[in-house]
Structure 1
């Protein structure tokens, strides 16, 4: 006996979402500075760790030839400049990027 309940059904659920692009993302007026410099891939992990330990960094962006490779927001997970366990996978990803790319541009967004 073949009933409709015996047949597999494909369920598709549609969830309304709103996509916010970086150009339209709301920014709060906070004082800060942006620094940008070039670094070799070998020194990348050490430099990122040093920046995280400073504690006043809001965001680190790694770029290669003006393309953003990874963006690391540091408002969550860093308390008083202490690296939490949540950032260890990010540090590992930074190490992989550093091994693959010879020269990177680091953009640092600092709070004042």
Structure 2
């Protein structure tokens, strides 16, 4: 193996190790929470880690087969994050301020 090929292998191995460690930390964040928003962000990061893992696999194999899959996963991750954010925004919206009955017009 030549010098550049060795450097490529070392960098790809380091990237995979970082992705695995990030995945383990991500699972801890999903498990512990503490809030629903933390879990939602962790799931969005999970999609990004899967995309990064596919990118590393594609670079290691010198194959562009995974690029359309990565694009679809990025789209699904984005739409999922927007959907979860809208759900949380509706759920956490404070109730509308209402005046007590019989108090209209009195200041």
The TM-score, its normalising length taken from structure 2, stands at 0.27
Q: TM-score, structure 1 length as denominator?
A: 0.26
Greater strand share, structure number: 1
